[in-house]
Structure 1
Amino acid sequence: MELIERLLFGSESLWGGGVAHSVLILALVVALGVMLGKLKVAGVSLGVTGILFVGIGFSYFGMNVDEHLMHFLKEFGLILFVYSIGLQVGPGFFSSFRKGGVTLNKLAVLVVALGVATTVALYYITGLSMTTMVGVMSGAVTNTPGLGAAQQAFSDMHAGADAPDIATGYAVAYPLGVVGAILTLIGLRYLLRIDVKREEAAAGQDSDAQKDLTTRRLSVEIVNAAVNGKTVAEIRDLALRDFVISRISRGGGSPELADASTALHCGDRILLIAAPRDVEALVALLGREVDAEPMVHDKAMISRRILITKPELNGKTLSELRVRSTCGVTITRINRSGIDLVASGNLQLQIGDRVTVVGPELSVAHAERLFGNSLKRLNHPNLIPIFTGIALGVLLGSISFWIPGIPQPVKLGLAGGPLIVAILIGRYGPHYKLVTYTTMSANLMLREVGISLFLAGVGLGAGEEFVPTLAAGGYVWIAYGAVITVVPLLLAGIFGRFYYKLNYYTLIGVLSGASTNPPALAYSAEQTSSDAPSVGYATVYPLSMFLRVLAAQLLILIFG
Structure 2
Amino acid sequence: MSLPLSDAALTTLALALAGTLGLLFGKLQVRKVGLGIGGVLFSGILIGDLAARAGIGFDEHVLHFIREFGLILFVYTIGIQVGPSFFSSFAKSGLKFNLAAMGIVFTGVAVTLAIFAITDLPLPVLVGIMSGAVTNTPGLGAAQQALSDVGLSADEIGLTGMGYAMAYPFGILGILITMFTVRFVLGIRIEAEEAAYRAESETGEASLPAINVEVTNANFDGVPLGSVPDLFDAGVIASRMKKRGELVVPTREQVVHLGDSLHIVGPAEKLAAMVMILGRKTDQALTTKGSRLTWQRLVVTKQKVLGRSLRELALVERNGVTISRINRAGVELPAQAGATLAFGDIVTVVGTPQEIETVRERLGDEKARLDEVNFPALFFGISLGVLLGSIPLAIPGLPAPLKLGLAGGPLMAAIILGRMGHLGPFTFAMPPTANHALREFGIVLFLAVVGIVAGDRFLDTILNGDGLSWMGYGVAITAIPLLVVGFVARVFAKFNYLSLCGVLAGSMTDPPALAFAVSMSNSGAASVGYVSVYPLVMFLRIMMAQVLVLLLSGVAM
Provide the TM-score with structure 2 as the length reference: 0.92
Q: Structure 2: which amino acid aligns with 1:27?
A: A
| 1:438 is the counterpart of 2:392 | no
Q: Go from structure 1 to structure 2 and tell me whether the alpha carbon gap of 1:61 and 1:528 turns closer, same or farther (over 3 Å shift).
A: same
* Residue in structure 1 matched with residue 246 of structure 2 by the alignment: 254
* Residue in structure 1 matched with residue 475 of structure 2 by the alignment: 482
| 1:176 is the counterpart of 2:173 | no
| 1:22 is the counterpart of 2:22 | no
* Residue in structure 2 matched with residue 450 of structure 1 by the alignment: 442
Q: Render the CA deviation track for 1:370-411: whole Å, top value 9, x for unaligned.
A: 211112333332122211121121112112222211112221
| 1:94 is the counterpart of 2:87 | yes
Residues of 2 paired with 1:347 and 1:249: CA distance? 26
Q: Render the CA deviation track for 1:203-247: whole Å, top value 9, x for unaligned.
A: 164479x94543112222333445544444333438984111110
Residues of 2 paired with 1:376 and 1:174: CA distance? 40
Q: Go from structure 1 to structure 2 and tell me whether the alpha carbon gap of 1:278 and 1:485 turns closer, same or farther (over 3 Å shift).
A: farther
Q: What are the equivalent positions in structure 2 for 1:157-556 lying under 5 Å apart? A: 157-158=150-151, 161=154, 162-203=156-197, 205-206=199-200, 211-237=204-230, 241-251=234-244, 253-291=245-283, 295=287, 297-430=289-422, 434-471=426-463, 472-556=465-549
Alpha-carbon distance, 1:431 to partner = 6.5
Residues of 2 paired with 1:192 and 1:234: CA distance? 54
Segment drifting more, 195-204 vs 383-392: 195-204
Segment drifting more, 442-451 vs 181-190: 181-190
| 1:37 is the counterpart of 2:30 | no
Q: SS at 2:397's partner residue? A: coil
* Residue in structure 1 matched with residue 118 of structure 2 by the alignment: 125
Q: Go from structure 1 to structure 2 and tell me whether the alpha carbon gap of 1:389 and 1:102 turns closer, same or farther (over 3 Å shift).
A: same
Q: Go from structure 1 to structure 2 and tell me whether the alpha carbon gap of 1:283 and 1:133 turns closer, same or farther (over 3 Å shift).
A: farther
| 1:51 is the counterpart of 2:40 | yes
Alpha-carbon distance, 1:543 to partner = 0.7
Alpha-carbon distance, 1:117 to partner = 1.0
Segment drifting more, 430-439 vs 173-182: 430-439
Residues of 2 paired with 1:257 and 1:238: CA distance? 14
Q: SS at 1:106's partner residue? A: helix
Alpha-carbon distance, 1:306 to partner = 0.8
Alpha-carbon distance, 1:305 to partner = 1.1
Residues of 1 paired with 2:488 and 2:224: CA distance? 47
Q: SS at 2:96's partner residue? A: helix
Q: Render the CA deviation track for 1:110-169: whole Å, top value 9, x for unaligned.
A: 111111111112222333223222212211211110011111110111166352221111
Residues of 2 paired with 1:227 and 1:503: CA distance? 44
Q: 1:512, 1:537 within 8 Å by CA — same for their partners in 2?
A: yes
Residues of 1 paired with 2:36 and 2:353: CA distance? 47
Residues of 2 paired with 1:247 and 1:294: CA distance? 7
Q: 1:236, 1:243 within 8 Å by CA — same for their partners in 2?
A: no
The match for 2:127 among 109, 113, 134 is 134
Q: 1:315, 1:432 within 8 Å by CA — same for their partners in 2?
A: no
Residues of 1 paired with 2:129 and 2:502: CA distance? 23
User: What residue ranges of structure 1 are gaps of 5+ in the alignment?
Assistant: 1-5
Q: Render the CA deviation track for 1:51-95: whole Å, top value 9, x for unaligned.
A: 111010000011553111000000010001101111111111112
Q: Structure 2: which amino acid aligns with 1:495?
A: V
Residues of 1 paired with 2:349 and 2:496: CA distance? 35
- What fraction of aligned residue pairs are identical, expressed as a percent? 43
Q: 1:112, 1:544 within 8 Å by CA — same for their partners in 2?
A: yes
Q: 1:514, 1:544 within 8 Å by CA — same for their partners in 2?
A: yes
Q: 1:348, 1:431 within 8 Å by CA — same for their partners in 2?
A: no
* Residue in structure 2 matched with residue 152 of structure 1 by the alignment: 145
Instruction: State the Cα RMSD in Å.
Output: 2.4
Alpha-carbon distance, 1:449 to partner = 1.0
Residues of 1 paired with 2:262 and 2:186: CA distance? 45
Q: SS at 2:344's partner residue? A: coil
Q: Render the CA deviation track for 1:293-315: whole Å, top value 9, x for unaligned.
A: 55254453322111111111111
Q: 2:376, 2:426 within 8 Å by CA — same for their partners in 1?
A: no
Q: Render the CA deviation track for 1:344-376: whole Å, top value 9, x for unaligned.
A: 111111111111111222222222222111123
Q: Render the CA deviation track for 1:465-515: whole Å, top value 9, x for unaligned.
A: 211111213123223222222221222222223443322222222222122
User: What residue ranges of structure 2 are gaps of 5+ in the alignment?
Assistant: none
Q: Go from structure 1 to structure 2 and tell me whether the alpha carbon gap of 1:102 and 1:232 turns closer, same or farther (over 3 Å shift).
A: farther
Q: 1:239, 1:282 within 8 Å by CA — same for their partners in 2?
A: no
Q: Go from structure 1 to structure 2 and tell me whether the alpha carbon gap of 1:266 and 1:480 turns closer, same or farther (over 3 Å shift).
A: farther
Q: 1:245, 1:272 within 8 Å by CA — same for their partners in 2?
A: yes
Alpha-carbon distance, 1:30 to partner = 0.7
Alpha-carbon distance, 1:457 to partner = 0.9
